[in-house]
Amino acid sequence: MNILVTGAAGFIGSHFVRTLLSGGYPGHEDDRVTVVDKLTYAGTRNNLPRHHPRLTFVHGDICDTTLLEKVFPGQEAVVHFAAESHVDRSVAGAEAFVRTNVLGTQALLEAALRHGTGVFVQVSTDETYGSIAEGRWTEDEPLLPNSPYAASKAAADLIARSYWRTHGLDVRVTRCANNYGPGQHPEKLVPLFVTRLLDGRPVPLYGDGSNLREWLHVDDHCRAVRLVLDGGRPGEVYNVGGGTHMTNREMTGRLLDLCGAGWDLVRRVEDRKGHDFRYAVDDSKIRRELGYAPRRSLEDGLRETVEWYAAHRGHWDAREEDSEAGY
């Protein structure tokens, strides 16, 4: 199969592509992967193999319809990870979020439709549902996103759905909980705290630290995406959870222990504007229909993640901006 993967120089997409290329997804051992990534601040070529016989890396923007006309012919599936993904940045300025997450997704959907691409997996997030004080969201829950980031992802999900409903494009949406693991940009909670604590520097805990998140290893998320790619149904949404729920304060405590640091390095800072209190998905649908079950324990996953950051301090420094595909 020829698969177009967007945003795979970033955290989750790169894990998906590396796993696929190393034979981690049965039935995909011969797939040819084309990655389109703009290499924003959040993407690095270091997240992918430099040279691999089944990988073509295209340095480009998903909003560039001329580029999409070149890369789409022959593609049989799209797995769409590319996004502006950091909530705090969307609070500071939402334009890039609307451009990439909404217009970029629409450009990809349009290209997929024109070129008869078989399957389109829209990788989305639990944040599109908003914030939930108790209980869990099913896929039928109305979308009530609170941050500009979440709103741009919700808009993209709805446009994707419209391409299924109107044009019959085989679109499948995943909505996953918070991911952690190696190769995540050090702007997000886990890598920010780990990289700072390893250097003995202070970390900023928003508000009183009581906000709750569900933490899932990136490998479990990517396996869920692969299950949806292979067996999901057109027009359907699949929540992806099964991680560990905890307050930010509890997560901070774990990271302090793993990094050998103490609470004296934790600074209480002003809360994030519009800070969602809690996310929690009901993922029984993907478990029932596709046999999804997470495998990585938080204990092992977090320890390995801290070890990875300790061993890869220069990972985000070196960039290679040249396209191997020559576009």
248 binds, among ligand NAD, ligand TDX, none (CB under 5 to 8 A by kind): ligand TDX
Residue from 55, 58, 63, 302 binding ligand NAD (CB under 6 A): 63
Residues written for the chain? 327
Residue whose pair of structure tokens reads 């078989």 in the numeric block: 118
Q: DSSP for 127-178, please give it.
A: GGG---SSS-B-TTSPP---SHHHHHHHHHHHHHHHHHHHH---EEEEEE-E
Which tokens sit at 160?
Answer: 């994707």
63: contact with ligand TDX by CB under 6 A: no
Measure the CA–CA gap between 217 and 12, rounded to whole angstroms: 10
Residue from 213, 217, 223, 285 binding ligand TDX (CB under 6 A): 213
Do residues 24 and 52 touch, judged by C-beta distance below 8 A?
A: no
**Residue among 72 and 149 whose Cβ is closer to ligand TDX:** 149
248: contact with ligand TDX by CB under 6 A: yes
For β-strands 119-125 and 77-80, DSSP reports them as parallel
85: contact with ligand NAD by CB under 6 A: yes
Write the CA distances from 185 to 54, 215, 229, integer angstroms. Answer: 26, 16, 25
Site for ligand TDX in 165-184 (CB under 6 A): 178
84: contact with ligand TDX by CB under 6 A: no
Rg (CA), the chain: 19
Residue from 45, 59, 80, 188 binding ligand TDX (CB under 6 A): 188
Measure the CA–CA gap between 271 and 207, rounded to whole angstroms: 4
Residue from 185, 217, 223, 226 binding ligand NAD (CB under 6 A): 185
Which tokens sit at 157?
Answer: 């999900």
40: contact with ligand TDX by CB under 6 A: no
61 binds, among ligand NAD, ligand TDX, none (CB under 5 to 8 A by kind): ligand NAD
Instruction: Count other C-beta atoms under 10 Å from residue 247's C-beta.
Output: 15
DSSP 77: E
229: contact with ligand NAD by CB under 6 A: no
Closest separation between CB of residue 165 and ligand TDX, Å? 24
Which tokens sit at 79?
Answer: 């797995």
Measure the CA–CA gap between 280 and 265, rounded to whole angstroms: 29
User: Which residues does the annotation mark as catalytic?
Assistant: 126-127, 149
**Residue among 104 and 232 whose Cβ is closer to ligand NAD:** 104
Instruction: Please give the residue ranges that form the binding site for ligand NAD (CB under 6 A).
Output: 6-7, 9-13, 36-40, 42-43, 61-63, 81-85, 100, 104, 123, 125, 153, 176, 178-179, 185
Instruction: Please give the residue ranges that form the binding site for ligand TDX (CB under 6 A).
Output: 85-87, 125, 127, 178, 188-189, 192, 204-206, 211, 213, 248, 272
